Amino acid sequence: MRRVLFISYSFPPSTEVGAYTCAQIARYLPLYGWEPVVLTVKEKYVDVLYLRDNDSDRVSDSDLVIRTRKLPHPSDIYRRFKSSSLAGKLSRDGDRTPVSTADGAENQSARATRDLLLSLSDIPDKYTGWLVPAVASGLRAIKQKKARAIYSSAPYFTSHLAGYSLALLTGLPWVAHFRDPWITGVIAELRHENMWFKINRALERLTISRADAVVCVTEEHAALMRAAYDQMAAPKFAVVMNGFDGLEWQEAEESLHSGAPGGGYAADGPRKFRITYAGALYMKRNPAPLFRALRTLIDSGEMGRDEASVELIGPCESIEGRDMADLISEAGIEGCVEMRGRLSHSETLRRLLQSDLLLLLAEGLDVQIPGKTFEYLKTRRPILALTSEGAVATLLRRTGGAWVVSPDDQPGVVNAVRECYRLWKRGLPGPAPDPLIVESFDRRRTTGRIAELLDFFDR
């Protein structure tokens, strides 16, 4: 069994989507003759945002997961220093002497300098303190475990800097996996031609120039990469789409059908038309168009107020600075929304399987596809995707099984919910995606493409 050093800051027990992605790839690489030696951060540095599944970090051999410390980040040091200084100042009598205009200008200049330095310390991200320990531990691991290749997955992009350093120091072939764009492909609202942006763009170029292969998760992102780096061979940019863990889904379906605890909803009344959203709400991910559509159907008498239920799973308490309760009240659908909060991954899968319509919010994601999209497809339940044209719309039109509607097209949202509700009311199944296409996104298959790249450079 050949070994590959697998570098990722995100790894279980972290419950970020990227951590699950990396754990699944690491789990299935041995099927193709590659045993991953995972290089990640110690558990105490990880934010566990959701309930942890007992088996969320299954890999072939736990002895091959190397967890390292990380050095304090400059912003952490600054905050501690500022906090202790403020505490000391407050413990004294305090000087209430008015600040002069000159002193105010000087303080403003100092703040601008401080903000610049702090922003530059976040290049490429706030986890740069992991770089030196990762490279030191990576060198030892490569020698002791006899690794024959390097694979880094990001974000966070400090992982790619570690991969770059180790490839440079050892001469081993290196595959850089971009789960999200770094600079090329970032949405327009986030692009600013400042010092931070320019340095990150230079680091992205450095990474792509040194890597033997670059893996993107959508063809749209790969096309932008090929155009931005057209002096490099186009085959260098491979596409391996995200997917779902078929083994986890098999277990979720068995649990649901066996009647195991947590495997189904309690019989607490008549069956409702259930719409489910799973994930966080940020940027332009806003369920308000769905809320307004339900109110329209209720007011027109096409749907009873007690017939529909929207289930929000995850950190959905607020969106864009507004409380979810205010959005619900504004739409006039009080009593129709259930806030489930953070659930374990396995429980979330079971609830997706029991839903009648899955809500996907993907506005503004031109080259990205949310990881939940593939799990939604695996349920073979109807999907309502509120998204602009881009990678998500292209994928769902290819698979079928979804209504793809712009969030600005309120009549289109109403029509999609109406159509799905009418099918449910008549006891008919909604549209389902092509099962052959869906099964191609099983991690057990997509990991094989990654193994092919490693095989190519191991000749």
Asked whether residue 77 is assigned to any structural domain, the reply reads no
Phi, psi of 282 (to 5 degrees): -155, 170
Asked whether residue 89 is assigned to any structural domain, the reply reads no
255 and 239, same domain (yes or no): no
222 and 322, same domain (yes or no): no
227 and 207, same domain (yes or no): yes
Q: Is the pLDDT of residue 166 over 90?
A: yes
59 and 163, same domain (yes or no): yes
Q: What CATH number has the domain bearing residue 358?
A: 3.40.50.2000
pLDDT tens readout for residues 127-140: 999 999 999 999 99
* Widest Cα–Cα separation across the chain: 76
Q: Is the pLDDT of residue 48 over 70?
A: no
Percent of the chain's residues with pLDDT above 90: 65
299 and 389, same domain (yes or no): yes
Beta strands 65-68 and 402-405: pairing type? unpaired
The Cβ of residue 92 has, within 10 Å, a number of other Cβ atoms equal to 7
Asked whether residue 83 is assigned to any structural domain, the reply reads no
| Of the candidate ranges 52-66, 81-95, 189-203, the one whose mean pLDDT is the lowest | 81-95
Q: How far is CA 264 from CA 18, 273, 315, 336, 361, in A?
A: 27, 15, 22, 19, 25
pLDDT tens readout for residues 374-399: 999 999 999 999 999 999 999 999 99
- Does residue 151 contact residue 5 with C-beta atoms inside 8 Å? yes
Q: What is the pTM of this model?
A: 0.86
Q: Is the pLDDT of residue 2 over 90?
A: yes
Asked whether residue 331 is assigned to any structural domain, the reply reads yes
216 and 325, same domain (yes or no): no
Return the higher-pLDDT residue of 344 and 7: 7
| Of the candidate ranges 44-53, 55-64, 113-122, 361-370, the one whose mean pLDDT is the lowest | 55-64
261 and 378, same domain (yes or no): yes
Q: How many domains does the chain have?
A: 2
Asked whether residue 80 is assigned to any structural domain, the reply reads no
Q: What value does the mean pLDDT of the chain take?
A: 86
pLDDT of the residue at 449:
96
The model's confidence at residue 204, banded by pLDDT at 50, 70 and 90, is: very high
pLDDT tens readout for residues 236-292: 999 999 999 998 888 888 877 765 544 444 445 568 999 999 998 877 789 999 999
Q: Is the pLDDT of residue 87 over 90?
A: no
Range of the domain at 14: 2-72+126-243+442-457
